[in-house]
């Protein structure tokens, strides 16, 4: 009972074990979102020119004047870095709109940039289409400029603003809601009508995935460091919770809820710089390629997606230092994940005596591809020769849900055990690293909540030792 592992993520049992419990499943849009892995956040607006992180909403519109704005440069760099999309802060807390919204007087239309004829959203959405990137929009409900903020009428304004964006710049792949809620120009706070906001998006753009602290489709990971929990469930309970101060505890957001009622995976947001908007005094504080690779392991490598903020400078360009770091990050990913050491390996599955007797399977001719409902939660991967390894990747068949509670990997050099790695959840992708070991085989043992084995892929690599935590 053997099968050649012949490609990067080897299918062990992609269709085995049909969903037998009433557990949440991802939608097609969420499954597509999981495969995005890594994309860029772009914080851009008046704060870029005032050196603020949170503008007050009273900044003169003429402060926004990126004389060399080139969204094609942003998209080109994102594509070269291996990012699969860009999400832009179309309206941050200061209320300034990067498009000429008819529902605000604090927009690019009132600025001197392009004599009031400019439209950042139009330029970026077109640039993304040209190079094959997904386009996403961040639109803050908090508005420190709009005179109706803090009144019931502002919810109408916000809904109309969303409709305007979807009408003018679709397709919008991800909509990003910040839960911040502070005072507006009249000193009042707004009571956001989240249910209405969600229904609006579902009606006008049902394929858009929506992010907030509590979804409805994607959740905040609970920190702005870009790090998912070592235990990371794609489930969450949202009844009684709202974005912002009404969200679950950050530990829950970081780890998910093992018995949550809704599929809401985590997105890890982090900036390539200390701040979210561009500041010249941070030009020498850009995260290195090695630091970004570490974040990749702690986000994508724990079943989440990585949303990396790269803020354009006052010219309207991605700074050279940021671009260089992104290219170094891409090079490290390409080099270190280029060769799957299991490409010519063989896998053997262990069948429990109970399953053998129940199904009368001749274990000598057992073909895993033809078995359904067998509780074979252990498998051994045999290499054709001694090989150095310090990274193993596992994938779960999340289209069937998430049910693997923990795993153990035992490394062998012939008959001698040379290492053991223990972990909890797997999810869409789990990347585990360890000090280099020379091995001939390794055994994976799984604990599945329902006695299934929904691992859909396995791979092994030898990473640059400088990139692996000791």
- The answer to whether 397 touches 13, Cβ cutoff 8 Å, is yes
Buried b (16+ CB within 10 A) or exposed e, 243-262: bbeebbeeebbbbbbeebeb
Reply yes or no on domain 2-21+339-467 having CATH 2.60.120.260. yes
Separation CA 203–CA 207 (nearest Å): 10
pLDDT confidence band for 454 (50 / 70 / 90): confident
SS3 27: coil
Give the three-state DSSP class for 24.
coil
**Confidence band, pLDDT 50/70/90 cuts, at residue 357:** very low
From the number of C-beta atoms within 10 Å of its C-beta (0-12, 13-18, 19+), residue 398 rates as buried
| pLDDT above 90 coverage of the chain, percent | 84
Query: Does residue 470 or residue 272 have the better pLDDT?
Result: 272
Q: pLDDT at position 450, please?
A: 79
- What b/e string do you get for 132-170 counting C-beta neighbours within 10 Å, with b at 16 or more? ebbbbbbbbbbbbbbebbbbeebbebbbebbbbbbeebe
Strands (E), 201-273: 209-212, 218-220, 235-236, 262-263, 266-271
Residues of the chain with CATH 3.20.20.80: 36-336
Query: What's the chain's average pLDDT?
Result: 90
Rounded CA-CA distance 341/159 in Å is 51
When mean pLDDT is compared across 151-165, 343-357, 411-425, the lowest value belongs to 343-357
What DSSP assignment string belongs to 114-164?
GGGT--HHHHHHHHHHHHT-EEEEEE-S--SS-TTTTSHHHHHHHHHHHHH
250-254, 409-413, 429-433, 465-469: least confidently modelled range:
465-469
With pLDDT > 70 as the criterion, what percentage of the chain qualifies? 89
Q: What is the SS3 assignment for 353?
A: helix
Cα–Cα distance measured from residue 9 to residue 428, given in angstroms and rounded to the nearest whole number: 12
Task: Pick 36-336's CATH classification: 3.40.50.1820, 3.40.50.2300, 3.20.20.80, 3.50.50.60.
Answer: 3.20.20.80
Q: What is the pLDDT of residues 172-196, one digit of tens each?
A: 999 999 989 999 998 999 999 999 9
Whole-model pTM?
0.92
């Amino acid at each position: 009972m053997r099968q050649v592992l012949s490609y990067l993520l080897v299918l062990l049992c992609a269709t085995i074990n049909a969903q037998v419990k009433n557990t949440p499943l991802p939608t097609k849009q969420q499954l597509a979102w999981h495969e995005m892995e890594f994309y860029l956040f772009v914080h851009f607006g008046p704060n870029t020119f005032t050196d603020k992180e949170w503008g007050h909403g009273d900044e003169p519109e003429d402060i926004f004047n990126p004389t060399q704005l080139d969204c094609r440069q942003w998209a080109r760099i994102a594509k070269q870095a291996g990012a699969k999309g860009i999400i832009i802060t179309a309206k941050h807390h200061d209320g300034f709109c990067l498009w000429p919204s008819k529902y605000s007087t604090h927009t690019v239309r009132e600025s001197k940039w392009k004599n009031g004829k400019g439209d950042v959203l139009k330029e970026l959405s077109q640039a993304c289409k040209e190079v094959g990137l997904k386009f996403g929009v961040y639109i803050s409900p908090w508005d420190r400029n709009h005179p109706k903020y803090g009144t019931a009428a502002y919810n109408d304004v916000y809904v109309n603003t969303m409709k305007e964006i979807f009408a003018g710049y679709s397709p919008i792949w991800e909509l990003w809601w910040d839960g911040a809620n502070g005072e507006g120009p009249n000193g009042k706070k707004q009571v956001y009508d989240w249910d209405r906001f969600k229904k609006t998006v579902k009606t006008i753009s049902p394929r858009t995935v929506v992010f907030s602290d509590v979804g409805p489709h994607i959740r905040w990971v609970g920190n702005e460091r870009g790090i998912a929990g070592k235990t990371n469930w794609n489930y969450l309970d949202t009844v009684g919770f709202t974005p912002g101060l009404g969200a679950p505890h950050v530990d829950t957001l970081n780890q998910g809820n093992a018995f949550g009622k809704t599929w809401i995976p985590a997105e890890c947001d982090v900036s390539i710089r200390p701040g979210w908007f561009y500041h010249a005094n941070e030009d020498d504080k850009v995260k290195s390629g090695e630091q970004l690779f570490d974040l990749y392991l702690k986000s994508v490598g724990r079943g989440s997606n990585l949303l990396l903020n790269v803020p354009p400078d006052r010219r309207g360009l991605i700074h050279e230092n940021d671009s260089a770091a992104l290219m170094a990050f891409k090079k490290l990913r390409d080099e270190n994940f280029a060769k799957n050491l299991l490409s010519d390996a063989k896998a053997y599955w262990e069948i429990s005596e109970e399953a053998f007797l129940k199904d009368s399977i001749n274990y000598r001719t057992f073909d895993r591809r033809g078995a359904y409902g067998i509780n074979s939660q252990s498998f051994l991967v045999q290499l054709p020769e001694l090989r150095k390894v310090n990274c193993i990747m596992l994938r779960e068949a999340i289209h069937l849900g998430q049910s693997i509670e923990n795993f153990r990997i035992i490394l062998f050099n012939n008959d001698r055990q040379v290492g053991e790695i223990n972990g909890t959840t797997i999810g869409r992708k789990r990347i585990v690293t360890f000090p280099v070991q020379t091995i001939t085989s390794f055994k994976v043992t799984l604990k599945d909540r329902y006695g299934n084995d929904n691992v859909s892929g396995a791979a092994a690599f030898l990473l640059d030792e400088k990139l692996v935590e000791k």
